[in-house]
Amino acid sequence: MRNIKTIVCGLLFGAVALPMGAQNEVPQWERFEKSLSFHTDKNPFTDVELTATFIHEGSGETLTVDGFYDGDDTYMFRFMPTKQGKWSFTTRSSERDMNGVEGALICTAPKCKGMMRTKGQDFVYADGTRYNPVGTTSYAWIHSTNERQEQTYQSLEESGFNKLRFCVFPNNSVYEWPTIYPFKLLSKTTDAAGKDHYVWDYSRFEPAFFRHLEECVDRLKTLNIEADLILFTPYDGGLWGFDRMTMENNNRYLKYVVARLASFSNIWWSMANEWDLCRAKTYDQWIEMSKLVAEKDPYHHLLSIHGGTAVYIDYNLPFYTHASIQDQGPLYNFEGAATVRNIIHKPVIFDEVCYEGNHASRWAQLSGEEMLERIWNGLIAGTYVTHGECFVKDMHNDKNYTGFAYLATGGRFEGTCPSRIPFTRKIIDSLPYSIRLADQSWDPNTACAGPDDYLIYFGGEKPKKWAFNLPTKCSRWPRIGEGVKFEIEIIDTWNMTIQKCPGVFETKFNKGRYRLIEKNDKSVKLPGKPYILLHLKKI
């Protein structure tokens, strides 16, 4: 029998693995990992089974995680403790040398807010802290140069985005090919027309690729950014063939990704970007693969799937935790987005609403102001909107469809919207509750963020005054009546200023008990600029 070795593995963030018999201490929601050394002449990715079952001493909670092969005769399993206290584990394996390995760890107090959950139609960290996703997108940034990846981290930190959507697989519109791929490359040839042809062994993964992916996810965590990982895309066109793998290869790939990454607290699963454009897969296959990811993930991270413009899958299926939507139509006003939220009884993220940019295509021609307005339209409606930008330096080069735009390769932001994100987050994170329309269908312009806490967003309009007028209904909170006193802030969401309106405003009923006006008919003087937000707070 070969000796089973415990290898101390320190990934960039939170990974712990200590010799047997030592006191393994892991903060709650961080990562414990253990490596076992074993050599086989079989295919180590497909012909060797390894799982580890963890049992919590106090509650009896049991979690089983899949192990995986990490190359160089090294097998590994990872665990993210969900409860404080002692956890013991035992392995099961098809190989005798790795079967029945036992150990324990102590889960200590958390150093982070934990993994993301949904609560009703909102997002919360495991510790109950409300999370308002204000994210951005960069599909192939992990495949770009080291210099541009470092620029990506820096720009994300400066901009304050708290979610990043990106892909596992490369993007053929970038024309900057990766240096390493997810699968073992058997051969690469170039035909007379200059087209490359790749042959892969889909039964063997490239561990170095996944180690880099994990490093990226961990770096994002240090920036408090959720990693919304896109598992499939149509942006291959048969160049590499990752978009048209067999279901056997698809499922094997999914199991491997989940085994490696489910213990990362900031991971989200996005089954696809524009799933309906992946022509080699059927609707039923997407449902099958979504179920597989949900079943293989013992922690049940957030899971969704993104379609083409206005293509909606059945997000009310139990394994989808939220809706990830590409559709700018509902964002032209508040009521459209709120209607989508009323139909989908889960959190709604409009993950693509066109892009700020200069692209020849109509989907990337928004100004920064228009991009921010769509974000606020979604927020006022009780939904969330993901930012994106695509500034192409050479718009006349048809071989450079997205070029080195942030959308494709990351790097530095060039648009004007990202610099407004910290201010936007400061406003919404300071609210007592998540935002909802106050009296939808009857008043599509007024929102609430708690009892007696109102928001009115004027978007592109430029009013010079607002006659005090509110619905008595306050969304899910009690109605308000006469004699309630408010103070009002005038917030310029674009120029990032907050001005307190002088005086106190007191309510009285107006022609019945559905509307409220100011007792002395006072109005609010406005600057006559677009993108103004009023925040009314009860005194």
Tens digits of residue pLDDT in 496-510: 999 999 999 999 999
pLDDT band at 15 (very low <50, low <70, confident <90, very high): low
pLDDT at 10 (0 to 100): 36
pLDDT at 20 (0 to 100): 42
Name the least confident of 45-54, 317-326, 379-388, 389-398.
389-398
pLDDT at 63 (0 to 100): 98
pLDDT at 196 (0 to 100): 87
**pLDDT mean over 289-317:** 97
Residue 236's nearest CA partner among 196, 269, 204 is: 196
CA distance 297 to 78: 12
Per DSSP, the residues of 73-88 read: TEEEEEE---SSEEEE
Q: How many residues does the chain have?
A: 539
CA distance 208 to 166: 18
pLDDT band at 511 (very low <50, low <70, confident <90, very high): confident
pLDDT at 169 over 90: yes
**pLDDT of 455-479, one tens digit each?**
999 999 999 999 999 999 999 999 9
Structure tokens at 3: 């000796």
Q: If DSSP codes are grouped into helix, strand and coil, which group holds residue 206?
A: coil
Pick the residue with more confidence: 5 or 246? 246
pLDDT at 9 (0 to 100): 36
- Residue pair 305/320 in contact (Cβ under 8 Å)? The answer is yes
pLDDT at 2 (0 to 100): 37
Q: How far is CA 514 from CA 334, 436, 443, in A?
A: 20, 18, 10
Orientation angle between helical segments 146-159 and 207-222, nearest 10 degrees: 20
Q: What share of the chain is helix, strand, coil (3-state, %, to 5)?
A: 20, 30, 45
pLDDT band at 95 (very low <50, low <70, confident <90, very high): very high
Measured from the Cβ of residue 63, the count of other Cβ atoms closer than 10 Å reads: 18
pLDDT at 126 over 70: yes
pLDDT at 238 (0 to 100): 86
pLDDT at 56 over 80: yes
pLDDT band at 513 (very low <50, low <70, confident <90, very high): confident
Q: How far is CA 72 from CA 36, 124, 468, in A?
A: 11, 39, 70
Name the least confident of 17-31, 47-61, 239-253, 401-415.
17-31
CA distance 466 to 511: 19
CB contact set of 254 (below 8 Å; sequence gap of 6+):
231, 289, 292, 293, 296
Alpha carbon dihedral 473, 474, 477, 480, in 10-degree steps, equals: -70
pLDDT band at 86 (very low <50, low <70, confident <90, very high): very high
Can you name the residues that pair with 64 across neighbouring β-strands?
53
pLDDT at 7 (0 to 100): 32
pLDDT at 119 over 70: yes
CA distance 68 to 44: 9
CA distance 304 to 314: 10
CA distance 301 to 313: 19
Torsion sign (Cα): 422, 428, 429, 431: positive
CA distance 463 to 458: 8
**Amino acid, single-letter form, for residue 80:** M
pLDDT at 8 (0 to 100): 33
**pLDDT mean over 169-191:** 90
CA distance 359 to 196: 27
Report the chain's C-alpha Rg in angstroms: 26
Q: If DSSP codes are grouped into helix, strand and coil, which group holds residue 55?
A: strand
**Amino acid, single-letter form, for residue 461:** E
CA distance 536 to 201: 61
pLDDT at 165 (0 to 100): 98
**pLDDT mean over 188-201:** 91
pLDDT band at 392 (very low <50, low <70, confident <90, very high): confident
pLDDT at 396 (0 to 100): 53
Q: How far is CA 263 from CA 37, 172, 363, 392, in A?
A: 21, 30, 36, 37
Can you name the residues that pair with 361 across neighbouring β-strands?
none
Structure tokens at 69: 């092969």
pLDDT at 18 (0 to 100): 45
CA distance 264 to 30: 7
**pLDDT mean over 20-26:** 67
**pLDDT mean over 526-536:** 98
Look-up of token digits 């993950």: 351
**pLDDT mean over 280-285:** 96
What's the farthest any 2 CA atoms get from each other in the chain? 89
pLDDT band at 195 (very low <50, low <70, confident <90, very high): confident
pLDDT at 173 (0 to 100): 79
Alpha helices in 240-367 (DSSP H): 247-261, 283-296, 334-343
When mean pLDDT is compared over 162-166, 169-173, 195-199, the highest value belongs to 162-166
